[in-house]
Structure 1
Amino acid sequence: MTHRPLSAPSPDRPALSRIGIFGLMLGIVLATLDGQIVSTALPTVVGDLGGLDLFSWSVTAYLLAMAAATPLWGKIGDLYGRKSAYRNSLLVFLLGSSLCGLAQTMEQLIAFRAVQGLGAGGLMVGALALIGVLVPPGERGRVQSMVGIMLPISFVGGPLLGGVITDYLDWRWTFYVNLPVGALALVAVFIGVRLPARRIAGRVDYPGVVLLTTGVLALTLFAGWAGTTYPWVSWQLASLALLVVVCLTWFVRVERRAEEAIIPPRLFASRQFTLAQILSFLVGAVLVSVVNYLPQYMQFVQGATPTVSGMLILPLMLGMLSAQLITGRLLDRGGLDRVMPLAGGTVATAGALLLLLLGTGTPVAAASALTLVIGTGVGILMQSSLLTTMNTAAPRDMGAATGTVTLVRTLGGSLGVAVLGAVHSSRVSDILTERLGADTAGRLTSGGELTPALLDGLPAQVRLTVEESVSSGLRGVVLGAAVLALIAFGFALLVRAAPAPAAVTTPGPAAPDDTRDKNPLRTPPAH
């Protein structure tokens, strides 16, 4: 593999070679693939370690820690060096992976998954920040498209790889497999990312860290528990909602006064940056909601196995992949900053409405193919919002900016799946109650008896009722997704056309890892 830089190196922009890009991509693969691999192995893990009542926390601990750590890693990279921050987050992730493989109880596994999540929070944001400061804006779309490829591969390949490892090796290897891949990523980044080690005079805004972390954790728990663990109208959820509002409101006040804010308010002085965060939030809600409930439809209505149901939404992933590749190339040329999010909102809305055609009589091939359109729209929105974020942030804030867009997308997904999941559950429950009676419906939905394997033993009429209820639930989800995509289109109308990306860079003699002015309180002009 050649070490030729993507662009000519200079004192103003150290080189990033192809092997460096390879190392960054491996880190992203680890962060996104791990959750997919482990989810397949978890039933086997529970059978070995016990603790069925703690099953969901092995996933929740990872996601909570990752969401909370993402903006912190971004700011640490801005202050103390992005290459070292990325390396350290990878080491924490590998430490957590090793400990997970050695876990002897479910409580240990949950704790070690949290360690893994802390490291995973820095992998995506670290890679994006390094790309943002080392790759010229005119080439970011091409490089960022490589990141876009990782997500569909992880969604599709993760469950398959997890199944193979669990069946033919041992569930512990779902964690140990990260070690050689992570070691290779460390070597590749060490060789291929040449970035001077610089440290900015300043320290992390710890009050902001505590407030943001508490708010994010409370919001994530609210999204995960609403309508499932606790009713929407309950003191537990009301307490969490109040905690979210208090922490995030206080966080905004603290950030306005902090010298080195975790999420610098100056970023939002840019209209384009603010709109990109709104679009990222909305597209996260659309993607996670649809990806969570389409496989359920494929299993209950189309009769697919869990693995095959994942394969049946492959067109959605391929649509995302293709759209991100093409969008990155087009945005590199400049002049399409407004056109692409408008196109993404239009296509995503149309794709969600097309999924309203899914029902009990839809042929399986048609059901699979219909997912292509919404995947394409989501891919356009994801890529355009991410590139806009990177191109409108000053190099000194690249870690904070990429951490913000990653966190916002994650929170959008959590809240989207909570709200639309409640719609899905309500529609399923209503149809089952109406046709089968309250007792039977309650046993199926609340007692955990409603599984795809159960359908084979049910009378034909009851089976049809279950299939129709699941189809109705999915239509509620995709109708909500269509509304969110339409709202995204509305915000895309507010995006202003911008010149070619090269024109929005922040010039200056300082190296990209430390473009901060001598005066630490001076705010750079908005782009």
Structure 2
Amino acid sequence: MATTTAERTHAGPPGGSSGGAPGALHGQMSHREIMEALSGLLLGMFVAMISSTIVSNALPEIIADIGGGQSAYTWVVTSTLLTMTATTPLWGKMADLFSKKLLMQIALVLFVAASAVAGLAQNPEQLIAARAVQGIGMGGLTALAQIIMAAMISPRERGRYSGYLGAVFAVATVGGPLLGGVITDADSLGWRWCFYVGIPFAIVAFIVLQKTLHLPVVRREGVKVDWAGAFFMAAGVCLLLVWVTFAGDKYDWASWETAAMVGGSAALLAIFGLVESKAAEPIVPLRLFRNRTITLSSLASLFVGVAMFAGTIFFSQYFQLARDKSPTMAGVMTIPMIAGLFLSSTISGQVITRTGKWKAWLVVGAALIVGGLGMLGTIRYDTEYWHVAVFMAVLGLGVGMTMQNLVLSTQNQVAPADLGAASSMVTFFRSLGGAMGVSALGALMANRIGDYVKDGLADLGPRYAAMAQGTSGEIPDMDKIPEPLRTVLESAYGHGIADIFLVAAAAAVVALVFVVFIKEVPLKTKGGLAQAAEEATGVDGPAAVAEAVAGVPEQHPADNPAPAASTPASTPASTPAGNGIALHGFVRGAGSVPVSHAAVTLISLAGRQLGRSVAHADGSYAVDAPGSGTYVLIASADGFQPQASTVVVGGEPVAYDLLLSGTTGLKGIVRSGEDGAPVQGAMVIVTDVRGDLLSTGTTVADGTFFVNELVPGPATVAVNAEGYRPHAVPIEIGATGVTRVEVELVTGARLTGVVKAALGPLADARVTLVDAAGNVVGTATTGADGAYAFADLDGGEYTVLATSYPPAASAVSLTGHGVDGHEILLSHPED
């Protein structure tokens, strides 16, 4: 027996969002909603990763086919890292201003379109240009994936879901090179299909993203992207990377070209800093660097990027050129590193979610990177593979512990309004380090290999020296080189690449130093969407937000008169009393219904209250901003989820409407059907119409329970308590407000006993329970001890039948909690 009622309030999607996952609309999402959203997100990441890694083992053959040497090989990789590095902060900032899903889809389209063009490349220049465009899309995909996860999931819980991202990363990193090697080795396909194979996956990812990723979009008027800052940052970074790439090859490290490029890069970055300090919406908010953790995490990411990219990008060359393996086998032989990365990222994420402790993982991870790269620095072309495998596994363990957790430590330190910029900033520094590392170490490796080749040829004599002329600058085809010279080249590549690992290990030591000085801060327990209504005031929880704005004196319609008859209904009636810049608008719920008496508070980004107001009967409000700048506007009302929005104020009054969504929950009480007494400790389970679990709860001492963040629509509430029969009732979860339900449980009687024969308890006897109407209620088979049991029975008269010997029947009357110890004696009839 159950009754349901719904308390409904008017609500609408926050920030102008329409539709979407219900959980996303009021800040927090259930596990099911998060997994649905992650399905498209992870598929998009898989496309980007596999399209990137699939060419790693094919690159030696690609460069040999279209022409080019070590410089072209390096630039095919560097061009992608360069554009990814330069555009990552821009993607992150746009994520704070525009639809994250739309940006994700744009990045996906860019990446796949560039992949198709790369497959048509006829020379290294065309391939490098296509890979540069790929980098723009990759910058968006990598930055937006972190940002969207941070918006949906709290830092404390993010480790659990980062494991899924790590799994996708591992599968794509292993599967990409393997698939690329198979395609390259197949005569019917060829290396160009390495770029085409990701297109079908991308189409599916685009569609899945459209259907599963639903996040609220805050539409902010008068917001402009800082294009000037983006230009100067990209120009400064690109010029620096060009210098690093060509220094020591095209010109000396100490030369006028070096002075010109380094000086020009410094000047461009200085202009960038000046532009950012004056921009209303900077690409990289310089104020974030006042936070010690963010600064150290960014610097650590820079050197982790050097170690991570430089320590992994040259593995394909090592296995193919130093160990004479096919592209397919080169991919197989890197599995130990990926296995280590997968295990460490997954396990560390789960442990961080349970304990909330993250710094130890960073320190241990950075130390493992140093150790792994240091050991890899000792390898040669003839080193036992199991040694190399162990060294790679250690490196993978370290990368898995640091890569995601450096982003986590930064995201945990910023307000929701800066989540995109801060997340992309860590990714930017990691990509910058990777691009600089690959460029500089690629040039260093070419020089070291040339030196080792000369040393080897000196031992072979002049005959082979003539055969090797012209091969030092090109990627060699080992199958066409005679054995003595081939051994020299293999040894040179093995030793030269090992030297690169040693240099990368030195960079990892610097990263370890920065990580050690990072201060551990407890992880927040709410995601970016939920923090938007809470962290902006510097307090925790919806109750604290309400308390922060509750300082507004209670005002009644008489205190805040409605607009005069001459005032248009579409114009806010209130006028700020101060002399600042007016910020006015309406507070509305679902269907544009005004939310009267809503408390509206204006605060600075530092959390200082600047103004407050109470909405009139028509929902209008007005507050004064002290001057131009960026502020946070908070609205709260009884029966609604608090809403926080970032507002940019210029020199003119700003009109800004606030949309509130009502809280949705289920509240009820469980009583005994006999005396109406509350039932404590009853388990309450809520499922949807498909039977999927939505949430669970337990009744307290007065028999009540509360379940929040439910999806509106039909559902089923099942209640189970010891000593009572389970009961399920259908309900309709309201779109807003709290739905109430009352459930009465009927006491469940039980019947237990033993079936005995002349020699003792009888096993495997069949016991049938029949009610007074002759219906079979249940059957049971006795165990070794002859025992049987029936539970959850209604009170009344029953007949117990036991069969094995000739059947025996007995009557039993059940009341209250039932009957225990009902014995049945079976025996053979007398002869």
Shared fold (TM-score, shorter chain, > 0.5): yes
Matches within 5 A, 1:52-71: 61-71=79-89
Counterparts of 2:534 and 2:119 in 1: how far apart (Å)? Answer: 44
- Seen in structure 2, the aligned counterparts of structure 1 residues 185 and 510 have a Cα distance that, compared at 3 Å, is farther
- Seen in structure 2, the aligned counterparts of structure 1 residues 504 and 144 have a Cα distance that, compared at 3 Å, is closer
Letter in 2 for 1:198: V
Counterparts of 2:263 and 2:112 in 1: how far apart (Å)? Answer: 36
Matches within 5 A, 1:16-55: 16-38=33-55
Matches within 5 A, 1:492-503: 492-502=515-525
SS across alignment from 2:525: helix
8 Å contact from structure 2 (residues 22, 29) kept in 1: no
Matches within 5 A, 1:116-515: 116-165=134-183, 167=186, 168-169=188-189, 173-201=193-221, 202-437=223-458, 440=465, 443=469, 446-448=472-474, 450-453=476-479, 457-459=482-484, 465-502=488-525, 507-509=531-533
Matches within 5 A, 1:90-105: 90-100=108-118
SS across alignment from 1:253: helix
- Seen in structure 2, the aligned counterparts of structure 1 residues 470 and 325 have a Cα distance that, compared at 3 Å, is same
- Seen in structure 2, the aligned counterparts of structure 1 residues 523 and 453 have a Cα distance that, compared at 3 Å, is farther
SS across alignment from 1:34: helix
8 Å contact from structure 1 (residues 77, 86) kept in 2: no
Cα drift, residue 212 of structure 1 = 0.9
What corresponds to 1:11 in structure 2?
A: 26
Counterparts of 1:12 and 1:387 in 2: how far apart (Å)? Answer: 19
Letter in 2 for 1:509: A
Counterparts of 2:327 and 2:117 in 1: how far apart (Å)? Answer: 28
Q: In proportion to residue count, which structure has more helix?
A: 1
8 Å contact from structure 1 (residues 334, 498) kept in 2: no
SS across alignment from 1:476: helix
- Bigger drift between 218-227 and 373-382 goes to 218-227
Counterparts of 2:423 and 2:164 in 1: how far apart (Å)? Answer: 16
Letter in 2 for 1:496: K
Cα drift, residue 523 of structure 1 = 7.5
8 Å contact from structure 1 (residues 11, 511) kept in 2: no
Structure 1: unaligned runs, 5 residues or longer: none
Cα drift, residue 13 of structure 1 = 3.0
- Seen in structure 2, the aligned counterparts of structure 1 residues 443 and 234 have a Cα distance that, compared at 3 Å, is farther
- Seen in structure 2, the aligned counterparts of structure 1 residues 200 and 229 have a Cα distance that, compared at 3 Å, is farther
What corresponds to 1:521 in structure 2?
A: 629
8 Å contact from structure 2 (residues 240, 265) kept in 1: yes
**Structure 1 residues 38-64: Cα deviation after superposition (integer angstroms, max 9, x where no partner):** 45566887899x676996566555444
Percent identity between matched residues is 33
Counterparts of 1:293 and 1:171 in 2: how far apart (Å)? Answer: 19
8 Å contact from structure 2 (residues 45, 145) kept in 1: yes
TM-score (norm 1): 0.85
What corresponds to 2:106 in structure 1?
A: 88
Letter in 2 for 1:23: G
- Bigger drift between 364-373 and 405-414 goes to 364-373
Q: CA RMSD in A?
A: 3.6
- Seen in structure 2, the aligned counterparts of structure 1 residues 395 and 174 have a Cα distance that, compared at 3 Å, is same
8 Å contact from structure 1 (residues 301, 467) kept in 2: yes
**Structure 1 residues 259-316: Cα deviation after superposition (integer angstroms, max 9, x where no partner):** 1110111222221111111121111111111213334333344332333223222211
Q: In proportion to residue count, which structure has more strand?
A: 2
Letter in 2 for 1:486: V
8 Å contact from structure 2 (residues 24, 215) kept in 1: no
- Seen in structure 2, the aligned counterparts of structure 1 residues 308 and 397 have a Cα distance that, compared at 3 Å, is same
- Seen in structure 2, the aligned counterparts of structure 1 residues 482 and 85 have a Cα distance that, compared at 3 Å, is same
- Bigger drift between 322-331 and 30-39 goes to 30-39
SS across alignment from 1:261: coil
Give the number of the structure with larger relative contact order, counting CA–CA contacts within 8 Å between residues 6 or more apart.
1
- Seen in structure 2, the aligned counterparts of structure 1 residues 523 and 289 have a Cα distance that, compared at 3 Å, is farther
- Bigger drift between 354-363 and 20-29 goes to 354-363
- Seen in structure 2, the aligned counterparts of structure 1 residues 34 and 243 have a Cα distance that, compared at 3 Å, is farther
**Structure 1 residues 381-411: Cα deviation after superposition (integer angstroms, max 9, x where no partner):** 2122121122222221222122212221111
- Seen in structure 2, the aligned counterparts of structure 1 residues 229 and 495 have a Cα distance that, compared at 3 Å, is same
Structure 2: unaligned runs, 5 residues or longer: 1-19, 537-602, 606-622, 633-831
**Structure 1 residues 408-452: Cα deviation after superposition (integer angstroms, max 9, x where no partner):** 111111222334344434443334434534994983664427554
